[in-house]
Amino acid sequence: MDEEPPGFEVDDRTVAEILDRRLEGGNDGGYLAPADAFRVLELYGIPVAGWRYAGSAEEVLAAARTGEPPLTFPLVVKAHAPAVVHKSDIGAVEVGIEDEAALAEAVAAIAHRVAEAGERLEGFLVQEMVSEGHETIFGISTDPRFGPLLMFGLGGRYVEVFRDVRFGVTPMTRTEAEEMVRGIRCVKLLDGVRGEPPADFEVLVEVLLRLAQIAVRHPRIRELDVNPFLAAPRRNQARAVDVRIRVAEPPGA
């Protein structure tokens, strides 16, 4: 008997509402705001680094303190400047922030750099700093012939240099997801080298399958990039650190 793709209990209704807001009023779509993008991952059961969104520099400290649980130092702060694709290119990211005084300094420095670059600053994403694990990438793109395409591979800053990625189509079975994750050239890095513990492959397979489901159920998600996703030895350490989601109405909709 043919293997069936697994199904996950998720909140598709709220995901659809987030996409509706981005497309309302005849809007052609575009990239979701960071808070909405991370929320989509959470609604689909994909683990993310602890985060808060602040609409202004004055709100950053309060955002870091609120929520349950509150964020734990060290922190990372990223500017939300819609036109900036690679934040590090203009110094719009500060990492390793150890206390509230350093947080205030980091926010002021980022705001200054974004202004110098002539970009529009809309807010800040504050995250817990996660560093343990290997950087991987997950993605969804849309092919005119095949529909949604899934991607997995080694991630981080050098993903376009090493190009160690694999692609797959939806719907996807668990066997296909396992073959895709283990099919990258540098899979031995994830298996552990020189005494390093191996990454939890089950988490990687599950994330890929959850993204396959979201690609099928929400075709208005035209592009999705989770980079990096830290593949760690234990399931509770694996986290998505950054995500971009572009939405648009499918052709003929």
pLDDT in tens, 49-106: 999 999 998 999 998 888 778 899 999 999 999 888 778 889 999 999 999 999 999 9
Q: Nearest-CA neighbor of 241 among 224, 223, 220, 227?
A: 227
Domain ranges of the chain: 12-47+132-247, 51-128
23-59 core/surface letters (b: 16 or more CB in 10 A; e: else):
beeeeeeeebbbbbbbbbbebbebbbbbbbbbeebeb
What is the spatial order of strands in the sheet that 123-128 belongs to? 51-54, 123-128, 75-80, 93-97
pLDDT score recorded for residue 29:
79
Query: Tell me, what's the pLDDT at 132?
Result: 85
Q: Is domain 51-128 given the CATH code 3.40.50.300 in the classification?
A: no
Record the tokens describing residue 197, joined without a space.
């513990």
Residue carrying structure tokens 């060290």: 74
Cα 152 to its chain centre, rounded Å, is 13
Domain at 12-47+132-247: CATH code = 3.30.470.20
The pLDDT tens digits for 6-15 are 999 999 999 9
For residues 205-219, average pLDDT? 97
| Whether 147 contacts 117, CB under 8 Å | no
Torsion, Cα 36 41 45 48, to 10 degrees, reads -100
Q: Are 129 and 72 in contact (CB under 8 A)?
A: no
pLDDT confidence of residue 160: 74
Distance CA 45, CA 173 (A): 18
Mean pLDDT of 154-180: 89
Average pLDDT value over all residues in the chain:
92
Q: Do domains 12-47+132-247 and 51-128 have the same CATH topology?
A: no
pTM score > 0.75 for this model? Answer: yes
CA distance 172 to 177: 7
For residue 157, pLDDT over 80 is answered with no
Tallying the residues shown for the chain, one arrives at 253
